[in-house]
């Protein structure tokens, strides 16, 4: 899962969500969740994980945080990060199953 923390007053948040959306559309197994900090639920989620800067994008496996990207990411770098995490997770699963 990729969770994007945003706020409407943030000028880089819209482009960050668009980059994350495009990545999730190109990857069958990537779920995108947007957390909006303008409401209590969003603020609570942000506080739980220590968000101090927006946009912040966090890759998760279940509830485990795998990687945090702070600020507006480059699309190619975000895709590279996702593929590295995906391949790393596959390698770990393969070693466990042996």
Q: What is the CATH number of the domain that holds 83?
A: 3.40.30.10
Strands (E), the chain: 2-6, 32-36, 56-61, 64-70
Mean pLDDT within 42-47: 96
The pLDDT of residue 95 is above 50: no
Give the Cα separation of 38 and 25 in Å (integer). Answer: 26
For residue 66, the enclosing domain spans 2-97
The pLDDT of residue 89 is above 80: no
Q: In which band, very low, low, confident or very high, does the pLDDT at 96 lie, cut at 50, 70 and 90?
A: very low
Give me the number of domains the chain comprises.
1
By three-state DSSP, how is residue 41 classified?
A: helix
Mean pLDDT of the residues in the chain: 91
Q: In which band, very low, low, confident or very high, does the pLDDT at 92 lie, cut at 50, 70 and 90?
A: low
CA 84 from chain center: how many Å? Answer: 14
Residue 91 confidence (pLDDT): 54
The pLDDT of residue 56 is above 80: yes
Contacts of 4 (CB under 8 A, 6+ apart): 13, 16, 17, 20, 32, 33, 34, 35, 55, 56, 57
What does the pLDDT look like over 59-77, one tens digit per residue?
999 889 999 999 999 999 9
Question: pTM value?
Answer: 0.88
Half-sphere exposure of 34 (CA within 13 A, CB side): 17
């Amino acid at each position: 899962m990729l969770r994007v923390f945003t706020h409407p007053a943030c000028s880089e948040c819209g482009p960050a969500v668009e980059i994350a959306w495009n990545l999730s559309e190109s990857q069958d197994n990537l779920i995108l969740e947007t957390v909006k900090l303008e409401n209590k639920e969003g603020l609570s989620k942000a506080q739980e994980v220590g968000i101090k800067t927006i946009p912040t994008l966090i890759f998760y496996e279940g509830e485990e945080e795998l990687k945090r990207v702070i600020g507006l990411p480059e699309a190619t770098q975000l895709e590279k990060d996702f593929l590295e995490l995906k391949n790393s997770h596959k390698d770990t699963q393969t070693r466990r199953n042996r």
